[in-house]
Structures are given as C-alpha cells and as structure tokens.
A and B are shown apart, each in its own frame.
Chain A
Amino acid sequence: MSNGAAGARHGLGPRLQVRALTKRFPGVLANDGVDFAVAPGEIHALLGENGAGKSTLVRMIYGVLHPDEGEIRWDGRVVRIEDPRAARRLGIGMVFQHFSLFEAMSVLENVALGMDDPGGMAALARRVSEVSASYGLALDPSRGVHTLSVGERQRIEIVRCLLQNPKLLIMDEPTSVLTPQEVERLFETLRKLAREGCSILYISHKLEEIKVLCDRATILRDGRVVAECNPATETKGSLARLMIGAELKTAKRRAGHDPGVDQGSVRLAVEGLDLAAEEIHGVNLKNISFSVRAGELFGIAGVAGNGQKELELALSGERRAKVAEAVRIDGHKAGHLNTRARRHLGLGCVPEGRRGHGAVPAMSLVENVILSGYDRMKLLSSIFIKDGEARRFAKRVVETFDVRAPGTGVSAGSLSGGNLQKFIVGREILQSPGVLIVSQPTWGVDAGAAAAIHQAMADLAADGAAVVIISQDLDELLQITDRLAVIGLGVLSAPLVTSQVSVEKIGLLMGGVHGTAPGSDRSSGSDRHAV
C-alpha cells in the first residue's frame, strides 16, 4: 500500500486511509475490500466506470452510507463516521454529483443548511462574499437557486465546503455539467486549495481531466481496486485499459463516407421553430433552424437546461409547432403532427429520460417494443396485439444489441441503466427510422455500451438515415458527429463542421450565451433554467 509521494514530501502519514472497505447492496457487491490513501495536499483521483463503486466509496467516507466491513483512518486514527455531520466535524467536505441544493431557497439559506454552526445570517453573508472573492467563485448570496446556472450552483456547494475549512474535499464528477472554461476555473480553485494543504479526492471517468489535474489515481473496477498510478505518466489508452479491463473501442464510420460534404437528400428540416416553454423555469425555443441529410450525424451541444429538453419534445412531436412547415420529415410538413403521425413518417426518438419516458419501467420488454413500434413493425391486427410478432421483435432487439436481460418478459425497470439504454436505442434503430432523434445517448452508460451505441448510430446513418444527437458530453459529439450546433438559452448557433472546430470555440459558444464570467452572470438571469 503506497501512501503516495506527496505524503512523504509533507513528512506526514496519510490524511485519509481506507482499509479493506466492503459494502454490499442486495444482489451487488458495490465495494470489495477497497484500500487506498490520500496524503495532505494531494489531489487524488478515483477513476472508474459507472457502477465501479466510486460513489458508494465516497458516500461511506462522507457518512451517508455505512461500510459492512473494513476501517477508515483519519490522521492515523480509526474513525467511525456515523453521518455527514460527523464527517464535517472531522474536516471532510463533499460536493455532490447531483447537487444537494434546494431550488426554492436562496444561496445564503443553502449555504447555511450545509453548515452545522452557521452563526448569524448577516455575518454568514459576509463570509460567503469573502470566500467567494478569494477563490474567484462569484456568488450573490441573496439570489434564489432556481435562477442560477449549473456552474453557479456548483459554486454554492464548493463555497459551503470551504467555509468549514475542510482538510479533505470530495468532488463527485464535478465537471460533467460544466463548460470547458468553467472546468478550467474549477481546476484553478482546486489547485489553490491543494497548495494550501487541503487534500482533494476527485472522482471522474474523464481521463484527460485526471491526467491534467491529479497527483495520483486509484482505479476501481467492479468494486475492487485494480491499480494505483501516477496519471501524468500514463496515456489515456493505458488508463482506459486499467479502467475497463479491455481496449477502448471507438465507433468506426463505414468506408466511403465523407463527413461534412453535402450529400444525400435532406431528411429532417427544421425552419424557424418557435415554441414557448410549458414549465415555469422552462426555456423558450427561438427561431431554431437546421437540416440534416441522409447519412449524417448531427450533434446539438450545450450546457444542460438551455432548451435541449424542449427541442427534443418539439422534434419528437410531444409538443407541436404552431406552423406545419416548422418541421419537415422527408419533405412532408410535420410541425403540426403528433408523435404517432411523425413516427409513421419515419421518425424514431430516444428521449433523455429512460425510466418513464423512453420506457415504461413496470412493463415488460415485449410491451415496451409494442408501445413505440406497433405501427412501423406492424404489431397490431385491427385492435389486437400480435403477440408472437412482438415477442420476436423484442427478442431481435435484445440479441442484436446485446441487452443483458434474462428474457424479454422481464420488466424494463429491472434492467441496469446501460442495458436499458441499449434496449431503447435498439428498439428505435431496428424500426429502421429515416430520422432518429437521440437525447443524451450515453448518459450513465459504461464505456463498452457507449461504444456499442455510438457504432449503432453510425451504422444507421451509413444506411441512409439522418441522426440528431442532443448531448451534454462534448467529447462524444466531437468524436462521432459530422456537424454540430450549440444551443444556448433556446437559440441554436449556426452549424459547424465537427472536424474543423476546436473545443475552445465550442466552449465559447456554450459559455458566451451562458455567461460564465463573474460580471455577465447577472445579466441574463431571468429566463435561464438549469437542471
């Protein structure tokens, strides 16, 4: 067990040491004898795929979960961390992946709630301003959280931790919701903290970030520690091998394809699409125009909550446009049509939400293929379901897309996130749609399944379909799309050819309308919504 070079440098033992930590959930061994240590002032990465046990591990360190076996040592002493209060008393702070914030309350109230001894509110407001100024984390204590962007929300959590002078800061997937520029600023803050002696436990599956930021990395796979290394001296490929246990596959476009060049007919055309938001904090779509040709993968990038959800609904037909010409599928006016009529024209859709939107969790896989495929796959005869046909189609989806399920009779809700996503994508693709809309195709999906989903979308395009991918994962869009556009505050940028753009350019487009600079944060507040 290495305590890390940083520990030796400080002439101290590890600040946090975890020994043989084991946690079981019904049917799953989430952590299996995990050992690792973090030195004072060290930025230590916990690297692993979704489901590798990273979140379980840090939730035990923060006292949200309790280990079944093993021990946690803090500054050399064995401690039992009953709850997050006990963790905070030790000096452990945590910034959650899904923020632990309260939408309807103010920034100040949110900060106070996360502290055990906040003192008077006026004094606290002053301290919030001081800390946010000294770490470059601009925050207005009196604002309501529901008016803030995701990046600003994360700052609340960080400031809340910093006010308690933590000795260990746990960051759970902090960058998944940030623009590239916001990520850079976050890293500066973290480096400054580390220089001041605060240890940082940084959880991510993004290899590039870990190489740039972290001193050491502990790599988890299936709940076990499989390696410890210095990420700076590793390559992305070698880290991926350690993390996945196999070579990382990337989607291959079929030969003969020439991305970005006008070819094939326009299959999906959106022109001047305006749509007022339905929800209170929703985003109005403003004059959205783009077209996608046969054989093309078209990406829509942007920070969460800038109109992606609204655009998805407007394309799928769940919300209809005011004019029929706003959406055309293979030349047919479709803006006024409902989902059923659009599906009939050849539209397929994989919505962002899997449980309850893309699939009915309580229904079987067979029933779930009937729900979206009854028309195109001819699974009905008059009012009756053709049971045999439906079973065969569901079986074909499961087999073609390697969905790990004990059969097609099991409920969709019993599948893991990655398997369910493969099932939903497979169900849509095997209906051979002319236009496929996919929102967040690989969210919460492990790298192997993600590669399979990317490949399937690329193959569908190669067969002549137009594919629209709405994603927050910029790397994903840069890797597989031919062209992409950025959505911000309900406005879509002009399309860019993917092979000719830089991350910085897209980051600026994402941030430009989004307002990441401290001064511009306030200007665009009222109609912004972030998830």
Chain B
Amino acid sequence: MSAESAVLIMLTVISAATPLLFAALGELVVEKSGVLNLGVEGMMLAGAVSGFAVTVTTGSAVLGILCAAAAGALLSLVFGILTLTLAANQVATGLALTIFGIGLSALVGSGFVGVPVVPLPKLAVPGVSDLPVIGPLLFGHDALIYLSILATAGVGWFLTRTRGGMILRAVGESDESAHSIGFSVIRVRYLAVLFGGAMSGLAGAFMSLSHTPMWAEEMTAGRGWIALALVVFSSWRPGRVLLGAYLFGGVTILQLHAQGAGGLGIPAQVLSMLPYLATIAVLTIIAAGPWRGRLDAPACLGKPFRPST
C-alpha cells in the first residue's frame, strides 16, 4: 500500500469518526448530568435534514450548520420537557424520540432526496497543506472536523476545570444532595440536554454536508447508537471518546475497504455488521468486566428527579 492510499484511508477514517465524536461528546455531557437520552439517532437525523435543507435552500453552509444544531436542540427540548419537567421515563422517551426523529426527518427531507449540495469547503492553509502526508492529514479538513477536536478539549476542560462542570457532575452524582445544597437540578439538566441535542445536530449536519454530501432517509444508519455505546466505552471521559470514535471510524472504513478488496471471501453483509458487532462486544466486555465501567457511571444516570418543596 502506498503512502498516498494510506493517507486517503486515514482521511476517510477521520471523516467517519467525526459524527460519532460530536454525538458522543454531547451525550457524555447529558449523561454526566444524570440524564440518559437514547434519542441521539433521532436528533442526528433532525440535524442532518435541516442542515442539508437550509444549506441547499439558502446556499449558506454556516446557516445550515447553525440550523442543524438548533434542530437537534429543539428535539432535545421536547425530551427535556417530557423527562425533566413531567418526569416521564427517560428510556421510553428517548426511544420514542429516535423513532419520531426518523419519521420527521423523512417527511421534511422527502423533497431533498437526490438533490446535490456543495460539500463543506476544506480550510487549506497555504504552504503547509501541500506538504506530503502531514499536509492533508492535519491541514486540509473542513471546519466541523476542527470543531469536533476543539469540542473534545473544551468538554474535558469544562468538566474538570470549571465550577459549572463541577456542578454538572455533582448533579449527576447525587441529585438529592445537589438540591439540598441549593443547586437547581432541573435547570442544570435542561442545559446539558440542550447541549447534547445541539451536538447531535452538528453530527447530523456533518453527515449530510461533509461525510456523504447528500440527504437520504435514515442516512445516519445507527451511528447514534454507536455514539451511545462510545460514551460507556469511554467511561465518561472526553479523551477516550475521541479515541473510541476514531477506533470505530476505523472499523467502519476497514470493512468498506475489505469489501472493496473482494471481501476476503467473507460476505459483504457480514463485513457491514462489523462496527455494530464491535459495539456489542465492547459493551458486553465493559458490563461483564470486574473493572471500572460501572464505577465511573454517574450515580443518578437515568433516574428521574422530583424536588420536594
């Protein structure tokens, strides 16, 4: 394999990993606040379709990306009202949100199937972008890819270095304690859920504007679920989310190349299953393993909170 084709493979891995990274980072913050939102897939689709539709209609990718984040946040607001204000079951509501997002995005996007879009521009840095290997790998990406890396560092910094992050973790750790100290548990969780929604929306926008610049029904193809698994895989640490996203992105791309290379005698369908099998395997190993996974989970994850007044 030549250096050039290796670089090309690396670029596709980065592209495959970025939506996972966005969605998983958002969900990590949501879960750190003690809320389990299983609607990631639905919010990603909402983001993908609105990002695509707005970009095609207005011609402005920036506006499209902003609308994608807003669409994800809007859908997560529905989730927030149901689970936080009305204390509905988080698992059931999250699943419903995914199904709702699939249907809604198909409806909104029905007029956009097969419509072409200009992919997000690559931000080339004159001079260094032309360097061999390093140039394309480090200096030839679109804005969202850089944003996803910045977001990883930003989330990590926020959670461990700021008072806001400490309060967020406290709320996820013990809602009762946080309430009795005087923090507004519900407000903190709303903010986290909205952030998670916006990040899922960005993940969707990256799918429809950069990864595969087009709109198709259910184009996220289960990536929302992989993102959910990544949060557990990372044991709720942003750095490990990055690692996991690139690992899963790598598995996705490798199976594509394996299919391209004649499948090594393995049926294409089996190869397509690989990323999902890897997800199940990782979750099983973490759940069964005697080590850390469970300890790092926010103690109040998925439990509704009703303050007494």
Contact = CB atoms under 8 A, between A and B. Distances in A.
A145 to B, nearest CB: 10
Interface centre among B166, B178, B180, B294 (most CB of A within 10 A): B180
A102 B174 contact: yes
B163 A100 contact: no
Contacts of B182: 63, 83-85, 88
Interface in A56-98: 63-66, 83-85, 88, 96, 98
Contact of A104 (B167, B178, B179, B299): B299
A280 B179 CA distance: 26
Contacts of B176: 98, 100
B173 interface: yes
Nearest to B292: A280
B189 interface: no
Interface string A110-123: 00111000100000
A30 to B, nearest CB: 11
Nearest to B171: A102
A105 B180 contact: no
B170 A102 contact: yes
Given A65-B308, A112-B163, A280-B294, A103 B180 contact: no
A109 B183 CA distance: 15
Contact of B181 (A65, A66, A84, A280): A84
B170 A64 contact: no
A84 B173 contact: no
B58 interface: no
A44 B139 CA distance: 69
Interface in A416-459: none
Contacts, number: 56
A99 B177 CA distance: 7
Nearest to A146: B295
Nearest to B161: A121
B169 interface: yes
B309 interface: yes
A245 B309 CA distance: 30
Contacts of A66: 309
A102 B173 contact: yes
A101 B167 contact: no
B174 A101 contact: yes
Contacts of A83: 182
Given A103-B299, A104-B299, A280-B294, A64 B166 contact: no
A113 B309 contact: no
Contact of B169 (A64, A98, A105): A105
A281 to B, nearest CB: 9
A54 to B, nearest CB: 16
Contacts of A96: 180
A318 B176 CA distance: 30
A101 B173 CA distance: 9
A217 B174 CA distance: 33
SS of A interface (majority):
loop
Nearest to A66: B309
Contacts of A280: 294-295
A113 B181 CA distance: 8
Contact of B170 (A65, A85, A113, A118): A113
Nearest to A63: B182
A103 B172 CA distance: 11
Interface string B287-309: 00000001110110000000011
Interface centre among A66, A88, A109 (most CB of B within 10 A): A109
A24 B46 CA distance: 46
A100 B299 contact: no
B63 to A, nearest CB: 40
Contacts of B173: 102-105
Interface centre among A98, A102, A103, A118 (most CB of B within 10 A): A102
Contacts of B179: 64
A64 B174 CA distance: 16
Interface string B134-178: 000000000000000000000000000001001101100110111
Nearest to B180: A100
Contacts of A64: 179-180
A427 B173 CA distance: 37
A100 B169 contact: no
A105 B309 contact: no
A142 B260 CA distance: 54
A66 B181 CA distance: 15
Nearest to A113: B170
A114 B180 CA distance: 10
Nearest to B160: A109
Interface string A385-420: 000000000000000000000000000000000000
A233 to B, nearest CB: 35
A104 B32 CA distance: 12
A227 to B, nearest CB: 29
Contact of B177 (A63, A100, A109): A100
Nearest to A59: B180
Contacts of A109: 166, 170
B161 to A, nearest CB: 9
A504 B147 CA distance: 63
A474 B296 CA distance: 35
A114 B163 CA distance: 12
B235 to A, nearest CB: 12
A103 B166 CA distance: 13
A103 B177 CA distance: 10
Contact of B180 (A84, A88, A104, A118): A84
A207 to B, nearest CB: 27
Contacts of B296: 104
Given A84-B180, A104-B299, A280-B294, A112 B166 contact: yes
Contacts of B299: 103-104
Nearest to B169: A105
A100 B179 CA distance: 9
Nearest to B295: A280
Contacts of A85: 182
Contacts of A88: 182
Interface in A142-180: none
A113 B166 contact: yes
A21 to B, nearest CB: 15
Interface centre among A85, A100, A113 (most CB of B within 10 A): A113
Interface of B: 163, 166-167, 169-170, 173-174, 176-183, 294-296, 298-299, 308-309
Given A100-B176, A102-B174, A109-B166, 11 more contacts: A65-B309, A66-B309, A96-B180, A100-B174, A100-B177, A102-B169, A102-B170, A103-B173, A112-B166, A113-B170, A114-B181
Interface of A: 63-66, 83-85, 88, 96, 98-105, 109, 112-114, 118, 280
10 contacts: A65-B309, A66-B309, A100-B181, A104-B173, A104-B298, A104-B299, A105-B166, A105-B169, A109-B166, A112-B163
The 9 closest A-B pairs by CB, nearest first: A84-B182, A100-B177, A102-B173, A100-B180, A85-B182, A83-B182, A102-B170, A113-B170, A114-B181
